[in-house]
Structure 1
Amino acid sequence: MRRGLILLALFGIVGCRPKDARAEGASTETRQSEMSVQNSNPSPMPGVPKSATVAEAAVPDLPGPERAAAASARVKPALKLELAAKGLRAGDPVFIRIFKEERLLELWIRKRETRKYEFFRSWPVAAMSGELGPKLKEGDGQAPEGFYVVTPERMKPDSQFHLAFNIGFPNAYDEAHGRTGTFLMVHGNAVSIGCFAMTDPKIEEIYTLCADALAHGQPFIRVHSFPFRMTTERMAAAAGEPWEEFWKNLKEGYDRFETDRVPPNVRVEGKRYAFDP
């Protein structure tokens, strides 16, 4: 633990930002993440050895490509068995949904026979900051809500939080509304400000499935982040909330997938999300 903290102090490697970000000045989210790691000693998360503290887990042990390959070798045999049991295959297109209130990340995989997406598995979000509602500005500590895409260049095998991918905030909708923020990730470890921390063992599974899909030709991975499961009952309970109208717009995309089991194509028109027929 002492060695890990010394390395953190020397190199400043904790946070969701890339390694060269300090040359540009760390964001509020990054500084808060560093304070959280250095001033806390949380209980180990399930699947993380007691000796693997948050600070020590943030120190990369292998270069990015080698780290991702080692993770894949660890998790892929069991993943392939589980996929086969559901008639699914590694490397086929994937789709991610995140539910902030439930603190869950779901991964769906397209079935070859039907070309519909089938639920594969969900993982608990280990750490996430802020309240229900979208991210508005750099430093507010909010996790994003909306429709995002992960392109190959947004994969971060060299993440300071083990493995990660950038969800692409701000998107065109966020920019149309003047929202700001950078390096919003799904990553390993169990501490985060503004990102979705999944723990190292869980991100290895999620990252491996996403990397395989991109390597087999999926051009980008859709990540839909919702405040909660947008059922009729839950939306009724949200009546009168400040973000009710925004959430109703999100629900249009949520309902499309619930009905079709195919992620909708999303665009922005008149500062609203719009969906292809």
Structure 2
Amino acid sequence: MLRKPENSLSGEDDFKNQQLNFESVKTAYAEKWPGLRDELFRKDFEDNFDLFIAAYKSEGKLEIWLRDSSQPRYALFKTYDFSAHSGVLGPKTKKDDLQTPEGVYYIDRFNPLSRFYLSLGINYPNAVDLLRSGHHDPGSDIYIHGNCLTVGCIPLTDDKIKEVYILAIEARNNRQTQIPVHIFPFRMTQENMNRNLVDFPQHKAFWKTLQLTYNYFEKFRNPA
């Protein structure tokens, strides 16, 4: 589906310069970085920020939260719309089920050679996913990527992935070796929980656990 990236998170001294060797990344920086830097300045963020990504499947929203290295709490920077959806509410359990995962992840791959322009891989399946999948193949290769197609990933269009990819590079280049990505079925207020459990009662135990993660961030503006 996607070509494997040549650069990993093992970390040479200047990750950004490595990524700029790829034409897609160079183009993204030329088009998007001046405007992003202006927006960072207007919203009082410094260049040496940490990044947190939250995604909400039902709402089709991906949020970018930033925190200056000296600050304890993240603040919302930008929100992007999914450009397509796949599957239904509930976690991914096996290969080819078309489901977008739900859970606590982090970015583990930067792919400047993606078929979908640029892509950021998440560490699906994690330990919880493997346990849930049992004897089934849980699948793999879950990305935040460009384009408007998906079979379980989170697409944002080519234009929007340029910004998200750049922000992830900047965070990684500032020594954030793990960029957290939390994928929720919906904004996990109690009202939303009650409404969605009517149709998906089988996910109650998992969603109640995931709601603790959601509530922690809502209270402390810091991922658990």
* Structure-1-length-normalised TM-score: 0.70
Q: Hey, what's the Cα distance between the residues in 2 that align with 1:93 and 1:133?
A: 29
Which string of whole-angstrom CA distances, capped at 9 and with x for unpartnered residues, describes residues 75-125 of structure 1?
011111111111113441100000000000000001345321000010000
- The equivalent position to 1:147 in structure 2, one of 104, 122, 125, is 104
- Paired residues for 1:55-134 under 5 Å: 65-134=22-91
Question: AA paired with 1:125?
Answer: F
- The equivalent position to 1:158 in structure 2, one of 113, 135, 143, is 113
2:51 and 2:171 in contact (8 A); partners too? yes
2:217 and 2:223 in contact (8 A); partners too? yes
Asked if 1:210 is matched to 2:168, the reply is: yes
1:91 and 1:209 in contact (8 A); partners too? no
Q: Hey, what's the Cα distance between the residues in 1 that align with 2:147 and 2:26?
A: 18
- The equivalent position to 1:172 in structure 2, one of 112, 127, 130, is 127
Which string of whole-angstrom CA distances, capped at 9 and with x for unpartnered residues, describes residues 1-24 of structure 1?
xxxxxxxxxxxxxx4x3269xxxx
Q: State the partner residue of 2:218.
A: 258
Task: Quote how far apart the aligned CAs of 1:128 are.
Answer: 2.0
Structure 2 residue runs without a partner (length 5+): 6-19
Task: Quote how far apart the aligned CAs of 1:186 are.
Answer: 0.5
Task: Quote how far apart the aligned CAs of 1:233 are.
Answer: 1.0
- Paired residues for 1:187-198 under 5 Å: 187-198=145-156
Q: Hey, what's the Cα distance between the residues in 1 that align with 2:61 and 2:34?
A: 24
- The equivalent position to 1:233 in structure 2, one of 185, 188, 191, is 191
SS in 2 for 1:74: helix
Task: Report the RMSD for the aligned CA atoms in angstroms.
Answer: 1.7
1:64 and 1:156 in contact (8 A); partners too? no
Q: Hey, what's the Cα distance between the residues in 1 that align with 2:56 and 2:21?
A: 28
Task: Quote how far apart the aligned CAs of 1:72 are.
Answer: 1.4
Q: Hey, what's the Cα distance between the residues in 1 that align with 2:75 and 2:167?
A: 14
* Structure-2-length-normalised TM-score: 0.87
Q: Hey, what's the Cα distance between the residues in 1 that align with 2:21 and 2:34?
A: 21
1:164 and 1:207 in contact (8 A); partners too? yes
Question: AA paired with 1:261?
Answer: R
Question: AA paired with 2:203?
Answer: W
Q: Hey, what's the Cα distance between the residues in 1 that align with 2:161 and 2:98?
A: 21
Task: Quote how far apart the aligned CAs of 1:251 are.
Answer: 0.4
Q: State the partner residue of 2:207.
A: 247
Question: AA paired with 1:89?
Answer: E
- Paired residues for 1:8-27 under 5 Å: 15=1, 17-18=2-3
Structure of higher CA gyration radius:
1
Aligned length in residues: 205
Task: Quote how far apart the aligned CAs of 1:173 are.
Answer: 1.0
Q: Hey, what's the Cα distance between the residues in 1 that align with 2:46 and 2:3?
A: 32
Sequence identity of aligned pairs in percent? Answer: 38
1:111 and 1:118 in contact (8 A); partners too? no
Question: AA paired with 1:162?
Answer: Y
Question: AA paired with 1:191?
Answer: L
1:98 and 1:224 in contact (8 A); partners too? yes
Q: Hey, what's the Cα distance between the residues in 1 that align with 2:64 and 2:185?
A: 17
Structure 1: which 4+ aligned runs deviate by more than 4 Å?
none
Task: Quote how far apart the aligned CAs of 1:224 are.
Answer: 0.2
1:189 and 1:198 in contact (8 A); partners too? yes
1:188 and 1:197 in contact (8 A); partners too? yes
Structure 1 residue runs without a partner (length 5+): 1-14, 21-62, 265-277
2:197 and 2:203 in contact (8 A); partners too? no
